[in-house]
Amino acid sequence: MKIFADSGCDLPKQFFTEEDVELFALRVDLNHTEYNDIIDIDPKTVYDAMRQGVTPKTSQVSPEVFLNEFEKLAKNDEEGLYIAFSSNLSGTYSTAVMIAAQVRENYPNFKLKIIDSKCASLGCGLLVKEAVKLRKEGLSLDEMTSRIAHLAEHMTHLFTVENLDYLAAGGRLSKSSAFIGGLLSIKPILHVEDGKLIPLEKIRGRKKAINRMIDLMVERGGDFSNKIVGISHGDDLEFAQEIQALIEEKLKPKAFEMTMVGAVIGAHSGPGTIAIFFTDKDYS
């Protein structure tokens, strides 16, 4: 069974090779040059450019890429599962569904399931990693799809950004919200609701915002002894490690996953972003 994921899951390049997961790369335009996310560009390159005032642009996965991979799957009579970046943050999911329908016209028995994860970054990445685990356990395509879809519904995202202007520039947040958040060193806590970015609270100061996020983890996640906590950061590993130590001390989760926010999502959230991911359902 083939597992597909797009670069909105922010997993490192080696993961796709080591775990036999097919990567669909979203694209980043930096200084008038287009790159395939994960494959051709390192997120740090994007963050360094943003610090110098460059505004990157992003675009979804090319329809041709979907067509090539889906036709190959259909011709080989293989089964596939694609866990897609939130449809409310990218058109990638909708394009995949459209191309899959097109392929199915020629191959009526085409066995592909596409999940709109309504998740982003490592929130989506944790789902992909779970799918790899379930494949190793021998679950059927329908069982895997059901389990991953259910887990996606229970994935919580909590994050804060250093500068809301990046989210506003990409249309992910209103300019008025960005302006308010920029006043008095107020750091917003945002979450993802139905696949959309929603401001949750405004806290003065970055460390206070992180402490409040950990309090929210307690409120929303309950017992963490059997949960995996994901942490992704916008090129600030040291601070991310400090946050991991705080979470470890307070909640003692089963395990952590940490990654840098990738080039495409980072182009909208900016340097200094910190995001925490967990489910309100235990991992098996």
| Residue after which a domain boundary falls, among 116, 136, 153 | 153
> What are φ and ψ of residue 124, in 5° steps?
-75, -40
pLDDT band, residue 30 (cuts 50/70/90): very high
Same domain, 120 and 10: yes
Q: Is the pLDDT of residue 277 over 90?
A: yes
Question: Cα 58 to the chain's mean position, in Å?
Answer: 15
Q: Is the pLDDT of residue 284 over 50?
A: no
Contact by Cβ (8 Å): 2, 79: yes
Report the CATH number that the domain containing residue 232 is assigned in CATH. Answer: 3.30.1180.10
| 53 domain-assigned | no
| 37 domain-assigned | no
Number of residues written out for the chain: 284
* Tokens coding 74: 């259909």
Same domain, 11 and 145: yes
Per-residue pLDDT of 195-225, as tens digits, reads 888 888 888 888 899 999 999 999 999 899 9
Q: Is the pLDDT of residue 272 over 60?
A: yes
CA separation for the pair 84, 124 (Å, rounded): 8
The pLDDT, as a whole number, for residue 177 is: 57
Considering only 121-135, 150-164, 245-259, which range has the smallest mean pLDDT? 150-164
The pLDDT, as a whole number, for residue 162 is: 81
* Tokens coding 201: 């609270």
Report the CATH number that the domain containing residue 115 is assigned in CATH. Answer: 3.40.50.10440
- Residues pairing with 275 in the sheet: 159, 232
Same domain, 238 and 160: yes
| Residue after which a domain boundary falls, among 153, 182, 209 | 153
pLDDT band, residue 174 (cuts 50/70/90): low
Considering only 44-58, 102-116, 174-188, 241-255, which range has the smallest mean pLDDT? 174-188
Number of domains present in the structure of the chain: 2
Mean pLDDT, to the nearest integer, of 121-142? 97
10 Rama sector, left if φ>0, alpha if ψ -120 to 50, beta otherwise: left
Coil/strand/helix, residue 133: helix
Q: Is the pLDDT of residue 95 over 50?
A: yes
The pLDDT, as a whole number, for residue 204 is: 82
Considering only 81-95, 154-168, 241-255, which range has the smallest mean pLDDT? 154-168
Same domain, 149 and 267: no
Same domain, 20 and 146: yes
CA separation for the pair 121, 262 (Å, rounded): 7
Same domain, 261 and 139: no
Mean pLDDT, to the nearest integer, of 121-139? 97
Contacts of 14 (CB under 8 A, 6+ apart): none
Q: What percent of the chain has pLDDT over 70?
A: 91
Element spanning 190, H or E: strand 186-193
| 246 domain-assigned | yes
| 216 domain-assigned | yes
The parent domain of residue 11 ranges over 2-24+62-153
Same domain, 140 and 162: no
| Residue after which a domain boundary falls, among 95, 118, 153 | 153
Same domain, 97 and 120: yes
C-alpha distances (whole Å) from 56 to each of 36, 179, 275 are: 13, 21, 21
